[in-house]
Amino acid sequence: MVAPLYTTASGLLFHAGKILVCTVGLPARGKTHVSRALERYLRWTGVKTTVISLGDYRRKVLGGAHQLPPDYFTLEKSPETIKLREKVLQGCEQQIWDFFNAGGQVVIYDANNGTRERRNAVAEKFDKAGIHVIMLESLCDNEEIIMANIRSVKISSPDYRGWDPEKAVSDYYNRIKDHEIHYEPVEETTWPFIRIINVGEKIMVNRIQGYLQSRIVFFLMNIHNRFRTIYFARSGQSLIEHSYKADSDLSPAGWEYAEKLKEFVLERRAKSLEQRGINPSERRLVIWTSARRRSHHTAWPFLTHSASDPSPPAKVKVIERPQMSEINPGVWDGLSPEQVRKYYPDEWERFVNDPYAYRAPRAESYHDLCVRLEPTLIELEREREDLLIIGHASVIRCILAYLIGLPASEIPAIEVARGDLIEVVPTSYGVYSQAHHFWDGPGRAASGKDEHNFYENYAEDTQGKRRPETQPGADAAPVAV
């Protein structure tokens, strides 16, 4: 399995050398979405990866769409505009060289690269330096998908910040039509290529060799760009709260928490979907739990319908995932940090030095947990419906770190308090996360921690600690992370 593994002296993993992935495709075909998703996955595996976007660099140098020459995106360009575009291209390519020279392994070059001449020129430069080049083409002939991409992605693009939405759509649609005139699909077999049709509907591969390159193909076969929201909540309080081995059922307060969670999630989700013009009763909610009783039973209220519930009942599907069981604390089961310091001083010192990688006697480390969760992360990418994960704090930390893009060293430091609903919305231009507080009953300590459940409730501080801002209700504005 692949997880945030290790680093080598060279900084390169899997003996794959350096790789340049050049995106190819017309605008609004999902190139940026695919690029950012692939970057997130490769960084999670420990590969030094970055996305270098020609559009981002152009905006940094020249400004937004309203500050560009009127012929910047048209077929016929003035000599001044041609010179300006060449300057932007050279500056962006220099950023690629700088990343490779600084020890980076994979660069995803997010640009149109719509002509055979243009992409061959880029590939030949880097191929001469011993860098493996892969063309990643995004094709789309589904007008519904294209228009959805224009509205949901390009309206939020930095190019159109402050624009009227309808004018932004019209301007971008005209830009696409100009690009279509001279676009040349990847038909040459000079370079290895991956062709994605209709954002995952079909995928074609040519001359892909090597382990890391194959992992890239595997990941791209499992992604999509459908809008969805991912929610996280801890399971309710159990009868025996401090024992990993007990696997006890929910306490009375735990059942009350589960009912409150159902009420809050359905209310919050309905409001969010209605703001996007979507009928909540027509969109299914998928719930993942672990096989532990307190996790699975917290989802039970979602499968029942009472007189106070919204009508008609929400479409809900509950799935047990054994891989999502909490981290095994080994001999530290049920101990507080003070007790661990007292009875296992040597092990405690090692844990403090590296809380992510250290494995207590007969326990799992956070690294072990990440390896165990990798199939779950792939299923997370595949899931097309809104998703609620009712899990254990240790598991939620790992999945949140993957989605938000935190380094492995910060996973143990993420605080996940019972009574907070964390909402994450993946988008092409970033991941938006926010936390809503909905519960103050039994099972929620004042600090959000239970000192007697070491791994589940105790987060060891590490440098650069970050967590979503907690909002006191369901009307919080999203925060870009």
Catalytic residues: 110
Instruction: Give the angle 378-372-241 at the CA atoms, nearest 5°.
Output: 115
154-163: long-range pairs with CB below 8 Å, 24+: 154/27, 154/28, 156/427, 156/428, 156/429, 157/429, 158/56, 158/59, 158/64, 158/429, 159/55, 159/59, 159/64, 159/65, 160/64, 160/65, 161/64, 163/66
- How many helices (H) and strands (E) the chain has is answered by 14, 14
Q: Which helix (H) or strand (E) holds 251?
A: none
> Which one, of 218, 216, 221, lies nearest residue 47 by Cα?
216
- What single-letter amino acid sits at 246? A
* H, E, C per residue of 138-182: EECCCHHHHHHHHHHHHCCCHHHCCCCHHHHHHHHHHHHHHHHHH
Distance in angstroms between the alpha carbons of the first and the last residue of the chain: 27
Q: What DSSP character marks residue 24?
A: E
